[in-house]
Amino acid sequence: MKELIRKSRPAFAILLAVYVLGYSAGYLAGRLNWTDTKSLQESRVFGFSHNLEYKVPGYSQLLKGYKKWHDNCRLGYLFQKNAWGLGTLFFINNFFVANLTMVVRALFVLPVVLTVFGKFFQGVVFAQAPAPGRMFSIFLLEFGGYFLTIGATLSLVFWTLLPRRFRFASREAGFFSGLKLLGFAYILSGLSILLGSVLETRFILRFFSGG
């Protein structure tokens, strides 16, 4: 595994640099009032990125059904102040649905570029509406979880397409090594997202309780 992690460093380094630049640019733009969250939400790029999965025939119907179920459960758990139910719901959504979405986007490479706009948007949000430390911690934990799976998926793609470049004996070896790395990264992402879900649940319940 150490050798696979070493070979994956270029993908993770590039991804981190792009994300940091996207967030920093958004934060700077927000602080200088060059843009705001409302105008970004109304932009075509944001709309396209946010609704990309809903444009896939068949899958869009499943996603809409899941979203309706998720929203109903979330409201019910909030009114009941059910911490276990709400935390489990957050974890399922972030670890399985959102994380899997990131993997699929990264497999096709180009769609994952749209997430850079998401980091720009988050930068603007934090610049114009500073969040408490707890919210920033949640952001970092969820970002860390998605970062691991996206970087591992990109490594899987490049190792499969360019096995010789990454010193794999064959395309098949690159593919299965990528799957092994992705499995390892997915487990680690789950730990990060689990902690983020716990903090998010406590923050939201305290907010609705007026604490």
pTM value is: 0.83
pLDDT in tens, 71-105: 888 888 888 888 899 889 989 888 888 888 888 87
Angle at 203 between CA 69 and CA 37, to 5 degrees: 75
Torsion angle defined by CA atoms of residues 26, 30, 33 and 36, in that order, rounded to the nearest 10 degrees: 90
Highest mean pLDDT among 40-44, 67-71, 120-124, 174-178: 174-178
Token code pair at residue 183:
């499995």
Structural domain spans, the chain: 7-208
> Which DSSP category does 131 fall into?
P
Q: How far apart are CA 34 and CA 59, in angstroms?
A: 37
